[in-house]
């Protein structure tokens, strides 16, 4: 079974808190104060509040066959000084609370190019309660390509990603933009946390907006650690990271939005009922 090499801790944030660019700095100040109380080392980057803009698009069949079977198909476009980069990031994810099932999914694509496969544990708050945590496992395939076209049939996508062969879906089903929603993601990389024993994590703060209406959808605070072997994480460092994650919820509750994930929110916006829950 493939080993986990990333641990990403995520907290959804209330979009109404981000009414001005300075709010990224305000929230980071609160996080630094919480880190200090918990004994967590924290460093702020020199370019901490340089805002990066990305377009995020999700694709699925009209019946959401991918998402309802734990798959996510996402295209992300990065912008420099207002102009889109020629290459896009295509991500295919399989997410499940079942670690073994997630780990054994073969996410390697039948494609030539820049490909990265990641297996990570995502740490999330409970859906209806502050100060606790749950795990969701994510097996990801990331492809960087200048020519990403995502209006084919599901059989064309499955031919590139064999992991999708398990889907019981009509091969003639087309895929299209989920809920006709184009998301604008504004993100800053404010700094990183040090939990001791070599266990460090890079932090991000982001807000997702509906590009069409320019309304804010949801924010997110995340910090991610990378390591060679999951079992090598020191117990004290792991516990401190989890204690800090819970404290970030309870000591700044006015910022936290309980729920599931950003992806689940995009799927839940439309009139069609979503069967899958994350």
What is the Cα–Cα distance from 41 to 26, expressed in whole angstroms?
19
- pLDDT level of residue 229 (50, 70, 90 thresholds): very high
Contact (Cβ atoms closer than 8 angstroms) between residue 278 and residue 261: yes
**Segment 236-253, tens digit of pLDDT:** 999 999 999 999 999 999
Going by their DSSP bridges, the two strands 83-96 and 200-210 should be labelled as: unpaired
Domain map (residue ranges) of the chain: 6-268
Least confident interval from 225-229, 240-244, 266-270: 266-270
- DSSP strands (E only) in 159-272: 176-194, 200-210, 216-226
- pLDDT level of residue 148 (50, 70, 90 thresholds): low
- pLDDT level of residue 114 (50, 70, 90 thresholds): confident
Find, among 143, 123, 70, 145, the residue nearest to 101 by Cα.
70
Q: When comparing pLDDT for 156 and 24, which is higher?
A: 24
| Model confidence at 151: pLDDT above 80 | no
pLDDT score, position 276: 78
pLDDT score, position 1: 55
**Segment 156-191, tens digit of pLDDT:** 888 888 888 888 888 778 899 999 999 999 999 999
What is the Cα–Cα distance from 185 to 218, expressed in whole angstroms?
10
Q: Stretch 207-221: mean pLDDT, rounded?
A: 94
pLDDT score, position 32: 98
Q: When comparing pLDDT for 28 and 212, which is higher?
A: 28
Rounded to the nearest integer, the mean pLDDT of the chain is: 92
Question: Which segment, 2-6, 74-78, 109-113, 187-191, is predicted with the most confidence on average?
Answer: 187-191
This prediction has a pTM of 0.94
Q: When comparing pLDDT for 199 and 272, which is higher?
A: 199
**Segment 89-101, tens digit of pLDDT:** 989 999 999 999 9
Percent of the chain with pLDDT over 90: 73
Q: Stretch 44-70: mean pLDDT, rounded?
A: 95
What is the Cα–Cα distance from 11 to 249, expressed in whole angstroms?
8
Q: Is the dihedral of CA 48, 75, 77, 22 positive or negative?
A: negative
pLDDT score, position 15: 96
Least confident interval from 10-24, 108-122, 130-144: 108-122
């Amino acid at each position: 079974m493939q080993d986990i090499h990333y641990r990403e801790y995520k907290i959804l944030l209330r979009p109404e808190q981000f009414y001005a660019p300075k709010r990224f700095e305000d929230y980071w100040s609160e996080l630094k104060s919480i880190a200090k109380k918990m004994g967590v080392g924290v460093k702020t980057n020199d370019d901490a509040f340089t805002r990066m803009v990305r377009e995020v698009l999700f694709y699925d069949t009209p019946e959401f066959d991918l998402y309802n079977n734990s798959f996510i198909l996402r295209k992300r476009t990065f912008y420099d000084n207002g102009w889109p980069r020629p290459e896009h990031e295509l991500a295919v994810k399989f997410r499940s609370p079942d670690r073994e099932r997630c780990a054994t999914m073969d996410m390697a694509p039948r494609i030539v190019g820049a490909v990265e496969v990641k297996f990570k544990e995502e740490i999330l708050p409970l859906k209806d309660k502050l100060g606790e945590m749950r795990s969701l496992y994510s097996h990801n395939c990331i492809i960087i390509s200048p020519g990403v076209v995502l209006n084919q049939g599901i059989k064309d996508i499955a031919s590139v990603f064999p992991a999708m062969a398990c889907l019981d879906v009509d091969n003639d089903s087309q895929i299209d933009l989920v809920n006709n929603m184009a998301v604008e993601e504004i993100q800053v990389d404010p700094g990183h946390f040090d939990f001791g024993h070599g266990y460090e994590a890079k932090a991000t703060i982001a807000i997702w907006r509906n590009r069409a209406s320019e309304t804010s959808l949801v924010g997110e605070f995340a910090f991610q650690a990378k390591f060679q072997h999951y079992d090598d994480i020191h117990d004290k460092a792991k516990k401190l990271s989890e204690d800090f994650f819970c404290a970030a919820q309870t000591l700044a509750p006015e910022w936290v939005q309980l729920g599931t994930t950003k992806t689940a929110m995009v799927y839940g916006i439309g009139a069609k009922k979503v069967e899958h829950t994350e």
